[in-house]
Structure 1
Amino acid sequence: MTPRTAGIADGPGRPLDPRTVRTRQAALAAVRELLVESGLSGVTHVTVAARSGVGRSTLYRYWPDVPSMVSDVIAELRVAITPAPSGDLATDLVTLLNGTREMLHHPASERAMRALIERAGIDPAYTDLQSQLHAAGAAVIEQFLQAGIKRGDVPDDLDVELAVAQLAGPLFYQRLLADGEVSAEMVTKVVDAWIQVYAPGRGEGGS
């Protein structure tokens, strides 16, 4: 998932105005700060406008509701941590999941994800947002796995959806449900255990 305002143009055939970029950056920086300070309840169009200096009408034009603002904050962080493929599946999975580990410990994204878990069951807007973010995160892992299948690193009948759960699931459980730390060592162990089952002989991930 890419931030929804990333490709907004100022008009047909016209590139994004640098002022629009600055406005967007200021608004999302304010959202991140407010998430850290007050959690999801502290993020409103009023508070973001006051913190960023961006007018509420502009905020509503780019982000009609709070979930869309939170979505873009998480999407920006995910884009920043997504690595370029190296061509080695174990290395790529370790690098990718270490990015997920960073997101799970980033104050803004962690608070946003905890709030999503809490609200998704009672607010349809957050249910949709949770589904979108899950799909976007899974798609990144799936791309690396599909590349591994094409190279012959793993069997071509690999259950990709199950593999995503086996790789990312332990990290989300450890941080968001068990409230524990996700260490780089844990990431390597998760990948190594998965590689030993599905790609034996490939060696230990990240070592």
Structure 2
Amino acid sequence: MRPLDPRTVRSREAALTAARELLVEQGLAGLTHGAVAARGGMSRATLYRLWPEPPELIRDTVVSHIAQRQSRPTGDLREDLATELSRIRSMLHEPATQQGMRVMIERAGVDPVFADIKRTLYESGTRVIRAILTDGAARAELPADLDIDLAVDELVGPLFYRRLVADRVFDDEYVHRVVDDYLRGQSATPSPPAERP
């Protein structure tokens, strides 16, 4: 596979920078080829060459936005989980971003293209949490047979429920409680299943 032309790389990065700004300011509604081209100081033709279809531009913009906000794990399980969940909390409280998430979830239910985008965003958005959990299990700080999908549900789920379903705001104290409750649950010795008579 031939490397991309440096000019194409620069154009793509400039466009994504402009698109991320519009996403934060205006939500998904702001991610039009015309608006991104104007903000990035480039032609629409360039944008359409890089992203022929609007959903492709939306996908890459949101993935880029998530990647820029994700943390770098340090090896401290509790702090790494709290830091990454705090980044997620912050994004959920950006008015345009959280509104964009609501729209994405709604459209994914009726539009296969957006269903694929939502799946990509889920994978991208949980990448760091999964890495932290996997490393914690490898260091024997978490069970070796840890169900990573369930762990993600238990850690990230409360944040999304509280913000997008209950429509409540919360701070990092709530994030730390979620992390501490989860880690306490993992350190507790589970009771054996009761025998049936």
In structure 2, give the amino acid aligned to 1:59.
L
TM-score by length of structure 2 reads 0.83
**Larger deviation, residues 146-155 vs 99-108:** 99-108
Contact 1:33–1:108, Cα closer than 8 Å, also in 2: no
Paired residues for 1:50-89 under 5 Å = 50-89=38-77
Give the corresponding residue for 2:183: 195
- Which blocks of at least 5 consecutive residues in structure 1 are unaligned? 1-7, 11-16, 202-207
Q: Work out whether residues 148 and 154 of structure 1, in 8 Å CA contact, stay in contact via their aligned partners in 2.
A: yes
Q: Alignment partner of 2:113: what SS?
A: helix
2: distance between equivalents of 1:113 and 1:36?
A: 12
In the alignment, which of 29, 32, 37 is matched to residue 49 of structure 1? 37
The Cα shift of 1:163 comes to 0.5
Matched, 1:137 2:125: yes
- Measure, in 2, the Cα distance between the counterparts of 1:79 and 1:34: 16
> Residue 87 of structure 1: SS of its match in structure 2?
coil
Give the Å deviation of 1:79: 2.0
In the TM superposition, residue 33 of structure 1 has moved relative to its aligned partner by 4.3
TM-score by length of 1: 0.80
Higher mean Cα deviation, 19-28 or 157-166?
19-28
> Matched residue of 1:173: which SS?
helix
Q: CA deviation at 1:125?
A: 1.3
- Equivalent residue number for residue 172 of structure 1: 160
Percent identity, please: 47
CA contact (8 A) 1:30 1:48 kept: yes
Q: Distance in 1 between matches of 2:143 and 2:157?
A: 21
Secondary structure in 2 matching 1:156: coil
Q: For 1:40-61, what per-residue CA distance to the aligned partner results, in whole angstroms no more than 9, with x for missing partners?
A: 3343223322333321221122
Rounded Cα–Cα distance in structure 2 between residues aligned with 1:78 and 1:33? 13
**Does the residue aligned with 1:86 lie in a helix, a strand or coil?**
coil
Superposition RMSD on alpha carbons, in Å? 2.4
Which has the greater radius of gyration? 2
User: Closer, same or farther in 2 for the Cα pair 1:39/1:109, shift >3 Å?
Assistant: closer
Residue type of the alignment partner of 1:169: G
Task: Answer whether contact 1:73 1:109 (CA < 8 A) is retained.
Answer: no
**Which of structure 1's runs of 4+ aligned residues deviate more than 6 A?**
none
**SS of 2:42 mapped into structure 1:** coil
Contact kept, 8 Å, 2:20 with 2:62, in 1: the verdict is: no
SS at match of 1:109: helix
Match of 2:115 among 112, 118, 127: 127
Q: How many residues align?
A: 188
Give 3-state SS (helix, strand or coil) of 1:127's partner.
helix
